[in-house]
Structure 1
Amino acid sequence: MLRSTSLHRTLVAILAVVALAACGGTTRGSDAAEGDGGGGNERSANPDAEIQEGLKIAFLPKEIDNPYMTIMDEGGTTAVAETGGEGKAVGPSDASASSQVSYINTLIQQQQDAIVIAANDPNAVAPALKDAMSQDIAVVTVDSDAAKDARHVFVNQASAEEIALTQVELITKQIGGSGKIAILSATPNATNQNAWIAIMEEELKKPEYADIELVATVYGDDDDQKSFQEAQALLRSHPDLKGIVSPTTVGIAAAARYLSSSPYKGKVALTGLGTPNQMRQFVKNGTVTEFALWDPAELGYLAGYAAAALASGQISGAEGETFEAGKLGERTIGADGEVILGPPTVFDAENIDDYDF
């Protein structure tokens, strides 16, 4: 009888160890079982876990042919390669949320370990992203956020305040502190653009900006030709416009191209967010004096490491968690799962040749 009881206890102990080993790893599927029962949206974290090799991580930009997005996703796939994983960029040729949804569904079917997405619309992509999360796919948003319950981590360029206030400061200086200005944005539902615009609008209500009037906000849908036409239409509707702020790399380049060959060159200030390689010719020919941006390759690189850490179970997206991001060093997750790259850089004729992206 004692031998039977002892053998039973031994078998129970062995089975417990086997079960613990099966549940304690960082393979796909483990985190979903440890969530709140709501489809696996919550993930557990083990800071001592190693980054898994062979992770499949897909990057889904707003638009596959957007030069800024291309640079960002190249940075992301570089990071994934450094972790021993397989990264790829796929996406629509138009900046529409519905197109992104179909790609998300395909990536779910492919059983990617993580999806990194720059959302065109925060809510339109949410159901598909939640479906991905319910199937234990780590979801990271980068550059433009989705609904907070539809991703684990948001990798942001800089704080919304830093980006918005930098653009207000630049346009104020360039128009001499007074005059009419307009905003040429991307899509009407772009999360990041709308957050920056809202802050800019509030800032411009302050007494020190009493002589500046924001007369219009228009949208080029992150399409080069439409952005060009919107810039042209702004000057037709407001021939006394003093400045344009375009917080989108596609928009600022298109507006610069229009101004550079128009009678408004040197008379209408243009600033916003652009890459040095896009804007170099317009800075050197006097169309643009200053603009700002962060390094999109580093933004994608940070997102790639965040995705690998999530998929490996190192982090869950909770505030205060840390992870190593290669050459960018240790990063800490802030409130609402946000990780910030850093403040924007201002580019002008003196420093633009120091950058190549």
Structure 2
Amino acid sequence: MKKLFICLVLVMAVILASGLASAEGRYAVIFKSAGNPFGEKLMDGFEKAVKEFGGEAILKAPAEPTAEAQIQMIEQLIAQHVDAIAISANDYDALEPALKKAMRRGIKVVSLDSAVNPDSRDVHINQANPELIGRVEVQAIYEMIGEEGQIAVLSATSQASNQNLWIEWMKKELKKPKYSNVELVKVAYGDDLRDKSVSETEALLKTYPELKGIIAPTTVGIAAAGKVLTDKGLKGEVYLTGLGLPSEMAEYIKNGVCPWMYLWNPIDLGYLGAYAAHALVTGDINGEVGDTFNAGFLGEKEVIQAGEGTEIMLGAPFKFDVVNIDKWKEVY
């Protein structure tokens, strides 16, 4: 009887401790894959926000960037009865059954960075205007290559919704008459894996010996391409731009391989995703157009209409060049 009493006391202590640790709920974030520096910073920001409002953060990322791996993680989180899931999706549609199941169980769902379809989420967190991202990268490479020549895109996975949307806008920008002497020869996919991104860059250079520019709208891809171009001594022959982490790209910006690039702060992106999830859990917002909430140091944010569904915008892409890279490489 005494042993039974002690066991009950211990169980109650664990339950109480768990309740105190997650007084504001349990918030999970799933990134595309493990070992991605952008994803690691995003999860750092997510965890920071969750700690600020007193919740428990659960950080997850599969070994490979596949929808199947993310679905397994979603099922695990459903079984753990989390309050919210934020996800950077490996596929726009494939996660729908699992995420709908989560929503039926009362779990709030936020997509961020790479979206899922509107039926699979309460709201999407968008890092910047997709049209602006796509167009500004084309404008950059156009200037770098002297307004003519062959260019290629080195993307992440072929199913990544954010990458595909940016590439759509790149192609629309390229239809303008001013780009008549610019040819997009290929969109290659490095799957956000360093070694494959290196191989794809080398293949582009071999297949298109007249290639003058590469746009890599992925932090893994642009760093891999920067190394290849540097190692091959192609500064001034093949130019590089896209979306990169300052800490990884400082060398290539300084040596001139990548004169400038763009990005937003992934820490802030994860931070905003957590606060949006919290606002959904507490009922401050429903993910409808016009909803507003406080997002910590980011201030008040508003839910706006997206092409499909609704979203919350972090801000405009930021330009990194030789003038400011030393400052920002110490930040992220």
Tell me whether the two structures share a fold, i.e. TM-score over 0.5: yes
Say whether the 8 Å CA contact 1:53–1:83 is kept in structure 2.
Answer: no
Q: Distance in 2 between matches of 1:195 and 1:283?
A: 26
Partner of 2:93: 123
User: For 2:229, what is the secondary structure of its paired residue?
Assistant: helix
Partner of 1:353: 326
Partner of 1:344: 317
Say whether the 8 Å CA contact 2:42–2:268 is kept in structure 1.
Answer: yes
Question: How much has 1:166 moved relative to structure 2?
Answer: 1.3
Q: Distance in 2 between matches of 1:337 and 1:135?
A: 21
The answer to which structure, 1 or 2, has the higher relative contact order (CA under 8 A, 6+ apart) is 1
Matches within 5 A, 1:323-334: 323-334=293-304
Question: How much has 1:337 moved relative to structure 2?
Answer: 1.8
CA deviations 1:83-124 (Å, max 9, x no partner) are 110112112011111100000000000011000000010111
Question: How much has 1:291 moved relative to structure 2?
Answer: 0.4
Q: Distance in 2 between matches of 1:101 and 1:90?
A: 12
User: For 2:151, what is the secondary structure of its paired residue?
Assistant: strand
Q: Distance in 2 between matches of 1:250 and 1:208?
A: 30
Q: Give the fraction of aligned pairs with identical amino acids, expressed as a percent.
A: 46
Q: Distance in 1 between matches of 2:229 and 2:74?
A: 38
Q: Which runs of 4+ in 1 moved over 6 A?
A: none
Choose from 72, 95, 104 the match for 2:74.
Answer: 104
User: For 1:184, what is the secondary structure of its paired residue?
Assistant: strand
Partner of 1:94: 64
Partner of 1:34: none
Paired letter, 1:126: E
Q: Distance in 2 between matches of 1:106 and 1:223?
A: 25
Q: Distance in 2 between matches of 1:245 and 1:54?
A: 42
CA deviations 1:126-182 (Å, max 9, x no partner) are 110010000000000000100111000100001101111110111111111111000
Runs (5+) with no aligned partner, structure 1: 1-51
Q: Larger Rg: 1 or 2?
A: 1
What's the C-alpha RMSD, in Å, of the aligned pairs? Answer: 0.9
CA deviations 1:166-211 (Å, max 9, x no partner) are 1011111111111100000000010000000011101101101111
Residues 1:301 and 2:274 are matched in the alignment: no
Q: Distance in 1 between matches of 2:182 and 2:133?
A: 19
Matches within 5 A, 1:310-325: 310-325=280-295
Partner of 2:137: 167
Q: Distance in 1 between matches of 2:298 and 2:196?
A: 36
Partner of 2:236: 266
Partner of 1:60: 30
Say whether the 8 Å CA contact 2:234–2:257 is kept in structure 1.
Answer: no
Question: How much has 1:284 moved relative to structure 2?
Answer: 1.6
Q: Distance in 2 between matches of 1:157 and 1:352?
A: 20
Matches within 5 A, 1:236-275: 236-275=206-245
Paired letter, 1:337: T
Say whether the 8 Å CA contact 1:260–1:287 is kept in structure 2.
Answer: yes
User: For 1:64, what is the secondary structure of its paired residue?
Assistant: coil
Residues 1:217 and 2:201 are matched in the alignment: no
CA deviations 1:9-41 (Å, max 9, x no partner) are xxxxxxxxxxxxxxxxxxxxxxxxxxxxxxxxx
Question: How much has 1:264 moved relative to structure 2?
Answer: 2.1
Aligned residues: 306
Question: How much has 1:53 moved relative to structure 2?
Answer: 3.7
Q: Distance in 1 between matches of 2:297 and 2:24?
A: 20
Once the two structures are overlaid, the 10-residue window that deviates more, 296-305 or 283-292, is 283-292
Q: Distance in 1 between matches of 2:212 and 2:48?
A: 42
CA deviations 1:200-247 (Å, max 9, x no partner) are 101101101111110100100000000000000000000100000000
User: For 1:116, what is the secondary structure of its paired residue?
Assistant: strand
Say whether the 8 Å CA contact 2:85–2:110 is kept in structure 1.
Answer: yes
Give the TM-score taking structure 1 as reference length. Answer: 0.84
Q: Distance in 1 between matches of 2:36 and 2:288?
A: 31
Give the TM-score taking structure 2 as reference length. Answer: 0.91
Choose from 245, 248, 261 the match for 1:278.
Answer: 248
Paired letter, 2:62: P
Partner of 2:6: none
Question: How much has 1:263 moved relative to structure 2?
Answer: 3.7
Partner of 1:291: 261
Choose from 204, 212, 217 the match for 2:174.
Answer: 204
Question: How much has 1:312 moved relative to structure 2?
Answer: 1.2
Paired letter, 1:135: R
